[in-house]
Amino acid sequence: MTHTLCLANGALRCEIVPALGAAIAGLWMHDVPVLRSTSGARLAGVRQAGSYPLVPFSNRIGHAQLAWNGISRQLVPNFLPEPHAIHGIGWQRGWRVLEAQAHFALLAFEHQPDATWPFAFDCSQAVHLRGDALELTLSVTNQSWQVAPFGLGWHPYFVKRAHSHIAFPAAGRWEMGKDKLPTHYAAVGGLDADCTSLDVDHCFEGWSGEVELCDPVLRVRLSSSLRRLVVFTHPTRDFVAVEPVSHVNNAVNLAPDGDAAALRRLGVELLGPGHSMTASMRIDVAPV
């Protein structure tokens, strides 16, 4: 049986599976799922989870090609048949439990350079149920000998019930090509829409840091220290993926050959040896 951490506080219950990318298998208010939820013991894979951390990058690195310091590195395409490297590597690794209490858990994993990512790092994720909110903190430290590109985020899947509605402000978004890579930036605002017929798969820039999600059962507010947001849903999907992220999709390949200023504008953190970055996300839940 898969080892599961079960946290509970008041009306909220959360189950985490350390061996499957420190994924949140489910989040419930009473017995109502907030995220796409299943019990940890029945979770067959991370892609069926309610949420998982994105480290050391988010979304896609195009064609699994990383150009850095004048060297082109072939990474491992990890979501076949797509040719890209996707969502970092933390979601496909087992994490260690450093601490577990009734409503708090701290997990971590360490990475040594390999074909999936050429830079050593360690990272941690803290999960805290506080009142009617789930609080997550994700940190990564560069343990390599050189400056390296890093990014963080989360990939929560919210339940799409009848009359689900999403609203958030933003300055613009990146349009997507058929290869699921960004093509250009457009000054298009955020969203204020019913989710039933919504067809979106974009990275939004200039996000305020808050999203409101509501339906006839629950009212949810997602907030984050990050200022970019990937939103994905389609009329055929029973979820809305709302992903706070630090950088634009495929950012390491959008900047001209490691241009530091361009990378920073796209949200990539250039961490020196021993330097760290941290992000936070909070999901507040209330019954309607």
Residue 42 located in a structural domain: no
Residue 47 located in a structural domain: no
Q: What is the pLDDT of residues 185-213, one digit of tens each?
A: 999 999 999 999 999 999 999 999 999 99
Residue 128 located in a structural domain: yes
- Provide φ and ψ at 173, rounded to 5°: -150, 160
Residue 125 located in a structural domain: yes
pTM comes to 0.96
- Identify the H or E element spanning 211: strand 210-214
Q: What is the pLDDT of residues 7-23, one digit of tens each?
A: 999 999 999 999 999 99
Q: How many CA atoms lie within 13 A of 257 on its CB side?
A: 3
Close Cβ partners of 74 (under 8 Å, ≥ 6 residues apart): 64, 65, 115
Residue 149 located in a structural domain: yes
Q: Mean pLDDT across the chain, nearest whole number?
A: 96
Domain that holds residue 133: 55-287
Distance CA 110, CA 101 (A): 22
pLDDT at residue number 256: 74
Residue 5 located in a structural domain: no
Q: How many folded domains does the chain comprise?
A: 1
Q: What is the pLDDT of residues 70-80, one digit of tens each?
A: 888 999 999 99
pLDDT at residue number 86: 97
Radius of gyration of the chain (CA): 18
Contact at 8 Å (CB) between 64 and 74?
yes
Say yes or no to pLDDT of 90 above 90. yes
- The b-or-e profile of 225-244 (16+ CB within 10 A means b, else e) is ebbbbbbbbeeeeebbbbbb
pLDDT at residue number 180: 94
Say yes or no to pLDDT of 1 above 60. no
Q: What is the pLDDT of residues 153-187, one digit of tens each?
A: 999 999 999 999 999 999 999 999 999 999 999 99
Tokens of 196: 């039933």
Distance CA 53, CA 201 (A): 19
With cut-offs at 50, 70 and 90, classify the pLDDT of residue 215: very high
CA of 280: how far to CAs of 42, 154, 219, 225, in Å? 28, 9, 20, 5
pLDDT at residue number 222: 98
Question: Once rounded to an integer, what is the mean pLDDT over residues 34-58?
Answer: 95
CATH number where 98 lies: 2.70.98.10
